[in-house]
């Protein structure tokens, strides 16, 4: 049985950026900006988003990862009541809510650390922080030093070996679940946190909410160390993040194919995991800025949504917006955006919306089965399967169309991504032209209906579905050998039945019409099943 996160499509929002907050918390005026997220719900629905991951939104001094109060929404965003309303609105539309859990460190304005500054060695909270020593002067001129995160003295490391700290955090998480009904946590800097804390966190959260999702930010290392039955459900897939854009920039699909096979192939080391896949986020360059050729955006997202794991979109990247990581600031990665802007690439958003729907529709795309089928520097075809449901994903990053041939299961392929175009399979071999800079998602089908447990999949198809699939304009060969050109699909003015309009490519070039059902028909000649009309690949 699938958990909700097994079929989830995430939308990652950095609230302080999206909502246009000041870079620093200078006062405590509640601005109610978090309510803006409610206005984005129709857009999320258009993208078929099922879960949002909201970056840090609890009270902090600047960027959100320097927490000052775990139990209060940042005043720049609004109030706790505002966020209750946002969560309620998202849940009413079937969208889950995952928050950023920053437990490795806090900001210097965190109330317990402020108590240490005020009372120094007399503070009851000295043991809440790692390696606190009162024999040196800190860069902030404190009469003590402390362990920080990666040399950033404004980020004070919490002592997660202190039961009081752990108890405080667990109680805080229960407040988030009980008050806001959140569905999961993304654990910041997970590689810096003790495993025992994650084990206790898992027991604590899942005892309150059995399907609560825990995902860790991991950049390097063996993901199995953190994602397992005792700790986290998932981690960030930084290995494939890099390969997704780099393989296109170097025109070398071998790079991403190697990572996907290493992770998910027949001997894949992460076959049993649902990794969190992404092409950009609040810490790295926007995908449109990372790619040398923006036409490759379409294929990157096709790979993101069809590889094993959980796909995620970073807010605004569905429109191809740019953003670079600055030397001293990540503000360009985290802009304030509005829903309607003439500069947005709406065709990319439409492509992502279609991919999102297919990810949820086709169980093969959510399974852990993956196999490389064809691999060239600029072409990549792989197979996803679930039981007897088979899907082929074919990508071409070349500037010219590519005619691919490979062995397939079934006798018909339907391109779910491009107008349900049909392709016949002869002698268990498909010959299909992949358009330049584009991709296909091909579902294997048979004409005869079968009984399948997964009724939503297209492992088989009945006559009505075949009749509904519209042939693409182009050359077709009749089973008797003559060739024709499909011009368009027309409707009967009285019955509204679909007809194919096509012309002869021989003789007088006459124009004909034929019922769509008959044009798409599978016939049997001498005991062999074949299409009445078969697409002809251009040379």
pTM, two decimals, is 0.84
CATH number, span 12-100+191-363: 3.20.20.80
Which residues, including other chains, have CB under 8 Å from residue 405's CB and lie 6 or more apart? 429, 430, 431, 432
Instruction: Quote the distance between the C-alpha of residue 499 and its chain's center.
Output: 39
**3-class SS at 421?**
strand
- pLDDT, the chain, mean: 92
Q: Given this model, what pLDDT does residue 498 score? A: 80
Q: What share of the chain is helix, strand, coil (3-state, %, to 5)?
A: 30, 30, 40
Which residues, including other chains, have CB under 8 Å from residue 489's CB and lie 6 or more apart? 470, 471, 498, 499, 500, 501, 516
The enclosing H or E element of 51 equals strand 51-54
The answer to whether 188 touches 206, Cβ cutoff 8 Å, is no
Q: Given this model, what pLDDT does residue 516 score? A: 86
Catalytic residue among 188, 318, 378, 457: 188
Tally of CB atoms within 10 A around 471: 19
Q: Given this model, what pLDDT does residue 479 score? A: 87
CATH number, span 471-539: 2.30.30.320
Closest CA to 406 of 376, 385, 378, 377: 376
Long-range contacts of range 345-352, CB-CB < 8 Å, 24 or more positions apart?
345/297, 345/319, 345/320, 346/319, 348/297, 348/298, 348/301, 348/318, 348/319, 348/320, 349/46, 349/47, 349/318, 349/319, 351/298, 351/301, 351/302, 352/47, 352/301, 352/305, 352/313, 352/318
What is the sign of the dihedral through the CA atoms of 183, 188, 190 and 196? negative
Q: What is the SS3 string spanning 220-289?
A: CCCHHHCECCCCECEEECHHHHHHHHHHHHCCCCHHHHHHHHHHHCCCCCCCCCCCEEECCCCCCCCHHH
How far apart (Å, rounded) are the C-alpha atoms in residues 486 and 195?
A: 62
368 noted as active-site residue: no
The answer to whether 454 touches 363, Cβ cutoff 8 Å, is yes
DSSP string covering 89-140: HHHHTT-EEEEEE--SEEETTSHHHHHHHHHGGG-TTGGGBTT-BTTS--TT
How far apart (Å, rounded) are the C-alpha atoms in residues 507 and 353?
A: 45
In the numeric block, which tokens belong to residue 520? 């798409």
Tally of CB atoms within 10 A around 401: 15
93 noted as active-site residue: no
Closest CA to 287 of 274, 299, 271: 299
Which residues, including other chains, have CB under 8 Å from residue 423's CB and lie 6 or more apart? 412, 413, 414, 415, 430, 432, 442, 535
Q: Given this model, what pLDDT does residue 517 score? A: 80
How far apart (Å, rounded) are the C-alpha atoms in residues 155 and 103?
A: 11
In the numeric block, which tokens belong to residue 117? 């500054």
DSSP state of 162: S
pLDDT digits (tens, 9 = 90+) for 517-529: 888 888 877 777 7
Catalytic residue among 109, 217, 296, 378: 217
Q: Domain map of the chain by residue range? A: 12-100+191-363, 471-539
Which value, to the nearest 10 degrees, does the dihedral of the CA atoms of residues 46, 50, 53, 54 take?
60
pLDDT digits (tens, 9 = 90+) for 278-312: 999 999 999 999 999 999 999 999 999 999 999 99
How far apart (Å, rounded) are the C-alpha atoms in residues 385 and 368?
A: 8
pLDDT digits (tens, 9 = 90+) for 182-222: 999 999 999 999 999 999 999 999 999 999 999 999 999 99
Closest CA to 441 of 380, 368, 529, 500: 380
The answer to whether 116 touches 66, Cβ cutoff 8 Å, is no
Q: What is the residue-level pLDDT of the chain in tens, covering all 539 positions?
A: 679 999 999 999 999 999 999 988 877 677 899 999 999 999 999 999 999 999 999 999 999 999 999 999 999 999 999 999 999 999 999 999 999 999 999 999 999 999 999 999 999 999 999 999 998 999 999 999 999 999 999 999 999 999 999 999 999 999 999 999 999 999 999 999 999 999 999 999 999 999 999 999 999 999 999 999 999 999 999 999 999 999 999 999 999 999 999 999 999 999 999 999 999 999 999 999 999 999 999 999 999 999 999 999 999 999 999 999 988 889 999 999 999 998 899 999 999 999 999 999 999 999 999 999 999 999 999 999 999 899 999 999 999 999 999 999 778 899 999 988 888 888 889 999 999 999 999 999 864 434 434 444 544 444 444 444 567 778 888 988 899 999 888 888 877 788 899 999 988 888 989 988 888 888 877 777 778 888 886 54
The answer to whether 7 touches 366, Cβ cutoff 8 Å, is yes
């Amino acid at each position: 049985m699938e958990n909700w996160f097994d079929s989830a499509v995430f939308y990652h929002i950095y609230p302080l950026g999206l909502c246009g907050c000041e870079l620093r918390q200078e006062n405590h005026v509640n601005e109610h900006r978090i309510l803006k997220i409610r206005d984005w719900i129709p857009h999320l629905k258009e993208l078929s988003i099922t879960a949002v991951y909201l970056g840090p939104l609890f009270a902090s001094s600047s960027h959100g990862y320097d927490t000052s109060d775990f139990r209060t929404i940042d005043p720049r965003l609004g109030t706790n009541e505002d966020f209750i309303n946002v969560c309620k609105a998202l849940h009413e539309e079937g969208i889950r809510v995952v928050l950023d859990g920053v437990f490795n460190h806090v900001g210097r304005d965190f109330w317990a650390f402020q108590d240490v500054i005020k009372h120094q060695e007399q503070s009851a909270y000295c043991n809440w922080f790692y390696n606190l020593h009162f024999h040196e002067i800190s860069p902030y001129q404190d009469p003590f030093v402390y362990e920080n995160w990666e040399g950033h003295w404004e980020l004070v490391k919490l002592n997660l070996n202190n039961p009081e700290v752990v108890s405080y955090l667990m109680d805080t998480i229960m407040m988030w679940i009980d008050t806001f009904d959140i569905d999961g946590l993304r654990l910041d800097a997970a590689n810096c946190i003790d495993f025992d804390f994650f084990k206790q966190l898992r027991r604590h959260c899942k005892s309150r909410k059995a399907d609560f999702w825990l995902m860790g930010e991991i950049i390097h290392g063996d993901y199995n160390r953190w994602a397992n039955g005792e700790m986290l459900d998932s981690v960030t897939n930084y290995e494939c993040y890099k390969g997704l854009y780099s393989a296109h920039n170097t025109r070398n699909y071998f790079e991403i194919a190697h990572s996907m096979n290493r992770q998910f192939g027949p001997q894949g080391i992460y076959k049993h995991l649902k990794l969190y896949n992404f092409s950009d986020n609040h810490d790295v360059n926007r995908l449109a800025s990372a790619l040398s050729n923006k036409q490759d955006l379409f294929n990157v997202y096709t790979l993101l949504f069809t590889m094993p794991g959980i796909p995620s979109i970073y807010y605004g990247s569905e429109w191809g917006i740019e953003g670079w990581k600055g030397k001293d600031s990540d503000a360009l990665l985290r802009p304030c955006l509005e829903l309607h802007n003439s500069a947005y690439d709406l065709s990319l958003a439409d492509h992502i919306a279609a991919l999102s729907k297919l990810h949820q529709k086709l169980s093969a795309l959510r399974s852990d089965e993956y196999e490389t089928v064809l691999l060239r520097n600029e072409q990549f075809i792989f197979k996803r399967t679930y039981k007897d449901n088979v899907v082929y994903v074919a990508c071409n990053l070349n500037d010219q169309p590519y005619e691919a041939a490979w062995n397939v299961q079934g006798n018909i392929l339907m391109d779910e991504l491009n107008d349900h175009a049909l392709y016949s399979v002869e002698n268990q071999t498909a010959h299909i032209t992949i358009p330049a800079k584009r991709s296909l998602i091909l579902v294997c089908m048979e004409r005869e209906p079968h009984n399948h447990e997964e009724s939503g999949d297209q492992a088989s198809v009945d006559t009505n579905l075949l009749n509904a699939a519209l042939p693409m304009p182009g050359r077709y060969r009749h089973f008797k050998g003559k060739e024709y050109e499909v011009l368009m699909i027309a409707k009967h003015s009285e019955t509204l039945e679909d007809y194919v309009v096509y012309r002869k490519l021989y003789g007088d070039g006459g124009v004909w019409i034929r019922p769509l059902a008959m044009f798409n028909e599978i016939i049997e000649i001498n005991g062999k099943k074949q299409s009445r009309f078969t697409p002809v690949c251009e040379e």
